[in-house]
Amino acid sequence: MRANYIEEIKTWTEEFKFHADVSVRFSETDMYGHLNNTKVFAYFEYARIEYFKSLNRMEKWTGPQGDTIPVVADLQCDFVKQVFFDEQLKIYVKANSIGKSSVDLHYMAKNERDVVVFTGRGAMVQIDRKTGKPVPWTKEEHQLFMENN
Amino acid sequence: MRANYIEEIKTWTEEFKFHADVSVRFSETDMYGHLNNTKVFAYFEYARIEYFKSLNRMEKWTGPQGDTIPVVADLQCDFVKQVFFDEQLKIYVKANSIGKSSVDLHYMAKNERDVVVFTGRGAMVQIDRKTGKPVPWTKEEHQLFMENN
Amino acid sequence: MRANYIEEIKTWTEEFKFHADVSVRFSETDMYGHLNNTKVFAYFEYARIEYFKSLNRMEKWTGPQGDTIPVVADLQCDFVKQVFFDEQLKIYVKANSIGKSSVDLHYMAKNERDVVVFTGRGAMVQIDRKTGKPVPWTKEEHQLFMENN
Amino acid sequence: MRANYIEEIKTWTEEFKFHADVSVRFSETDMYGHLNNTKVFAYFEYARIEYFKSLNRMEKWTGPQGDTIPVVADLQCDFVKQVFFDEQLKIYVKANSIGKSSVDLHYMAKNERDVVVFTGRGAMVQIDRKTGKPVPWTKEEHQLFMENN
């Protein structure tokens, strides 16, 4: 596996605790017969949001009173194995490193045979909805990400 | 063709004037090798918006000062011929009938050989963004739809 | 509710037995803040496939040895209530009527408060993968749909 | 701009020759009001295919007689500026480097004011459809990519 964001594969894999379940929809396949590669990023988004919900961090970004929103700074995915229609995937998420107002999330997708089918990462920044400027995490949030890496 | 919203096929077909061009993306195909049926509604949406833009009606619904938004009340599509990757489609739109605050839009998709590949329709209602109540068309709008059916 | 495929709403509603669970993804919302109307058809597709799987009918259409495939003849949806990000929907499916080689599937989506948010229907035809001609249901399949309407 | 695949921004930008036009669809926005970040990869796919078509390389991968298919090995995107509904984007593509049976494609998206809104890259490998093994480019193909970087 050549993904440059994985320092040491064994440790990297074992650090994941949280996952969200995704089932590959028919409409997400393409004429080559497998999961279209553009669709995995919607899985990452879904898993990331479930992860934030598990930390009770999502509500503040979607509620009507929210002043801040999370913005995706970058995204990447390395495709390891073909994925097919109706496969049940586990999309693992962890906070790999934490900045002042950003967090680097890593992803690992496994199929039902516990085989890694794709991996990925992406940085997110918390910004002020009006000014667009980065808003630092609170101490509590920093702590939360550290404990749930 | 059995679509019940088409009274007389020749007249119905000839009434269309406006169309938007769409090219079938690879990511819109599925493992059966053709355009996935769920994707045509995004084509309808795109064509409908281009139609409204051609009438200078879209800006008031997407601009920051907009008080009203258009809401889709229903949608339907009848699939006539298989559509494949990279086909260049013309998506025709017309206002088939106009209500006080609604409009019944009809759609016809033709491929490069000028063959109808699918047809459809859907009612849209203009509502107040805050109250959710229907907002009647102005006389000018009524006129516009009548002339651009 | 004005959907013309619903003869009598109480009976129609009560006849549904099967449902699939869907959670509204962030990437399925649009800039008006709710579920984009084009996305419900992917929910219908997912629920329909889960329904066929529950009847052990799906495998013959996706396996490598499959000679027949199901083709969507038409689709429609009536939007009853706004649906928002992260709502957990139940997508009910039933075989409302059965033809020689087709089946008319009806759909009903309910939110967590058991309120109907949209309804729909669509005919499917079983065709021969090579000739494209309709392939009649077996007696057993006919029976299955009848019992699981 | 921090994307690590861009060695020197001025040269990198100037090397692009080919581009495909994309218009941001309403159904591709999300409730935060801008282009949903998962959608850019469908733009990359579309632009990449148009690029291959311009080199007459696409037909061999989608025609019925095709023995090889291109497989996406990895994908990444760096988001530079917010993108909104109805923006007309130019998605530039170039072959940044060429391997024996792979090619590293780079992407740059510009809006109507000629401002870079996102960049990206991704490796593609040509494989044998049946065995799944990499199939080397012909000399002619190698040449083509070199000339159209």
- Residues D20-28: what's their mean pLDDT? 97
Portion of chain A with pLDDT greater than 70, in percent? 97
D30 and C34: CB-CB below 8 Å?
Answer: no
Q: Is the pLDDT of residue C20 over 70?
A: yes
**In the prediction, which pLDDT does C2 show?**
62
Mean pLDDT in chain D?
93
Portion of chain B with pLDDT greater than 70, in percent? 97
Neighboring chain A residues of C25 at a CB cutoff of 8 Å: 42, 45-46
- Whether the ipTM is more than 0.90: the answer is yes
**In the prediction, which pLDDT does B15 show?**
94
Portion of chain D with pLDDT greater than 90, in percent? 83
**Best mean pLDDT range from B65-69, D80-84, D127-131:** D80-84
**In the prediction, which pLDDT does A108 show?**
98
- pLDDT higher at C148 or C103: C103
For residue A71, give how far its alpha carbon lies from the nearest alpha carbon of chain D (Å): 9
Tens digits of residue pLDDT in D90-103: 999 999 999 999 99
- Whole-model pTM? 0.95
Q: Is the pLDDT of residue D51 over 70?
A: yes
- Cα nearest neighbour of C32 on chain D: D31
Cα angle vertex A130, ends A127, A136, to 5°?
Answer: 25
For residue C147, give how far its alpha carbon lies from the nearest alpha carbon of chain A (Å): 25
Nearest to C2 by CA among C77, C74, C103: C77
In single-letter form, the type of residue at position B39 comes to K
Residue in D31, D37, D75 nearest the CB of A37: D75
Mean pLDDT in chain A?
93
Q: How far is Cα D107 from Cα D110, in angstroms, rounded to an integer?
A: 10
Task: Sort B138 into a burial class: Cβ within 10 Å, 0-12 / 13-18 / 19+.
Answer: exposed
Determine the CATH number of domain B9-147: 3.10.129.10
Report yes or no: C86 at the A interface, CB cutoff 8 Å.
yes
- Residue pair B105/B84 in contact by the 8 Å Cβ criterion: no
